[in-house]
């Protein structure tokens, strides 16, 4: 018997081009993104507005945009251990280390060092939240390394640091993504995913007033990778060719996370899975409610037809979903339908997304399947790109004043 309620995932877009495990042909040399214009061969409701907004020597993974249009990027050492820095602000098209006062070199873990930042988000009080997973390559997490920091974007100073103990983020943890809802509790709550490929998966709930963190849905089936799923990208199964799990398909759990516009639901999806789930935010955030009560609110929204990395909610109640198997981004409407936002050969593994004040969707493209871990060599096309498309969405920032309409020029 299922441990959570299943809800059909209604799809309005026919993904007839999906050729997953049933495909007999395996490409000997994977096709890499071409140097053609971004709109060449692009599909979807926003396809004609697709363009690159920045080129980078190092790989940006996380992305966040402030109320006044400032753009921030995270450069994960979990993917590229030799990245020279972890967080930067995009100014005049170039990354500048951010915030001032924090070390970002490859030194030993320290409270004032950003070691392996995986995700960023901006809250309704215009603070940048930085999730440092502490994960460098395939190394084990050192105790007390993972942390969550808040930077006041008015002063550019760190105003809050939450360090996670081993009970929350142990040696095998991979804290991957974060959303913040300031309408909950005295000072808000943060919801994080643990996508670990080696240890337990689950969600982490942080009371931002006290810094107290709690694991929820710990190793619940909805947070686990699908044991029968092998991700398939351009006809090639995603199997590891380097590292401690050579020959094994990638197995990552709860990865992307998003809030519903009304704050009732937290959406999440394991990376090695085609299913989208949601759970009651009230149940997650109420520490008086036991695990069984939380589990009872989990809903399986069905097979969406593709694997997702990043998720993002907008103010209209839609959930954006990256599609890493098909070079695409979709969005799920409140009535359960999905529509194709953009699909292009340029979008090789779309990863994290953010909305600018005018509704422009900006996102990173990480080409993870072309990395040495999965190819035995670095087959990624450089420089790395960040893209944008125009949408009718409004940014969702729970618990504060909505961003001003109109676009602030990117610095």
Q: What's the pLDDT tens digit per position in 336-356?
A: 999 999 999 999 999 999 999
Q: How confident is the model at residue 401 (pLDDT cuts 50, 70, 90)?
A: low
Instruction: Tell me the β-bridge partners of 387.
Output: 52, 363
**What is 101-137 written as a DSSP string?**
T-B-SS----TTB---EEEEEE-TTSEEEEEE----T
Q: Which residue has the higher pLDDT, 134 or 108?
A: 134
pLDDT given at position 311: 98
**Gap between the Cα atoms of 322 and 306, Å rounded:** 9
Instruction: Tell me the β-bridge partners of 215.
Output: 204
Q: What's the pLDDT tens digit per position in 173-185?
A: 999 999 999 999 9
**Gap between the Cα atoms of 232 and 210, Å rounded:** 43
Q: Which residue has the higher pLDDT, 101 or 38?
A: 101
Q: For the chain, give the mean pLDDT.
A: 89
Q: C-alpha distances in angstroms, 325 versus 26, 70, 161, 294, 346?
A: 14, 30, 36, 31, 13
Q: What's the pLDDT tens digit per position in 89-100?
A: 999 889 999 999
**Gap between the Cα atoms of 376 and 371, Å rounded:** 8
Residues 6+ apart with CB under 8 A from 103: 110, 112, 113, 114
Helix (H) / strand (E) element for 56: namely: strand 51-56
State the Cα angle at 199 between 195 and 201, rounded to 5°: 40
Tell me whether the omega of the peptide bond preceding residue 97 falls within 30 degrees of 0, making it cis: no
**Gap between the Cα atoms of 9 and 305, Å rounded:** 9
**Gap between the Cα atoms of 193 and 205, Å rounded:** 9
Would the pLDDT of 27 be above 70?
no
Q: 3-state DSSP: the chain helix, strand, coil percent, rounded to 5?
A: 5, 35, 60
Structural domains of the chain, ranges and CATH numbers in brackets: 5-25+33-389 (2.120.10.30)
Q: How confident is the model at residue 23 (pLDDT cuts 50, 70, 90)?
A: very low
Would the pLDDT of 2 be above 70?
no
Q: Are 312 and 331 in contact (CB under 8 A)?
A: no
Q: What's the pLDDT tens digit per position in 313-336?
A: 999 999 999 999 999 999 999 999
Would the pLDDT of 235 be above 50?
yes
């Amino acid at each position: 018997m299922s441990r959570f309620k299943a809800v059909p995932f209604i799809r309005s877009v026919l993904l007839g081009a999906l050729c997953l495990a049933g495909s007999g042909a395996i490409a000997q040399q994977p096709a890499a993104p071409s140097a053609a214009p971004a709109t060449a061969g692009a599909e979807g409701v926003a396809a004609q507005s697709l363009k690159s907004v920045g080129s980078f020597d190092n790989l940006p993974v996380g992305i966040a945009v402030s109320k006044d249009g400032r753009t921030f990027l995270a450069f994960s050492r979990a993917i590229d251990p030799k990245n020279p820095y972890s967080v930067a602000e995009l100014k005049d098209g170039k990354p500048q280390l951010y915030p001032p006062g924090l070390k970002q070199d490859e030194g030993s873990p320290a409270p004032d060092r950003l070691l392996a930042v995986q995700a960023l988000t901006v809250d309704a009080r215009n603070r940048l939240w930085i999730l440092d997973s502490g994960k460098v390559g395939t190394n084990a997490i050192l105790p007390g390394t993972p942390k969550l920091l808040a930077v006041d974007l008015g002063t550019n100073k760190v105003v809050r640091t939450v360090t996670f103990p081993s009970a929350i983020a142990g040696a095998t943890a991979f804290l991957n993504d974060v959303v913040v809802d300031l309408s909950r509790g005295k000072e808000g709550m943060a919801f994080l995913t643990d996508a670990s490929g080696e240890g337990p998966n689950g969600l982490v709930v942080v009371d931002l007033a006290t810094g107290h963190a709690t694991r929820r849905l710990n190793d619940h089936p909805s947070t686990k990778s699908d044991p029968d799923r092998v991700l398939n990208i351009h006809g090639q199964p995603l199997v590891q060719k380097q590292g401690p799990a050579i020959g094994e398909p990638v197995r990552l759990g709860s990865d992307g996370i998003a809030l519903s516009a009304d704050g009732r639901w937290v959406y999440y999806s394991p990376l090695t899975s085609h299913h989208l789930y949601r759970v009651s935010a009230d149940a997650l955030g109420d520490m008086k409610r036991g695990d069984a009560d939380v589990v009872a609110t989990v809903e399986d929204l069905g097979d969406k037809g593709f694997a997702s990395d990043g998720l993002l909610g907008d103010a209209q109640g839609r959930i954006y979903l990256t599609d890493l198997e098909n070079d695409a981004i979709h969005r799920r409407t409140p009535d359960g339908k999905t529509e194709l936002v953009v699909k292009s050969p340029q979008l090789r593994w779309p990863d994290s997304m953010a909305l600018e004040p005018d509704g422009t969707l900006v996102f990173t493209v990480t080409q993870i399947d072309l990395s040495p871990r999965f190819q035995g060599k670095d087959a990624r096309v450089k420089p790395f790109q960040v893209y944008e498309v125009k949408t009718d969405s409004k940014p969702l920032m729970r618990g504060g004043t909505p961003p001003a309409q109109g676009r602030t020029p990117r610095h």
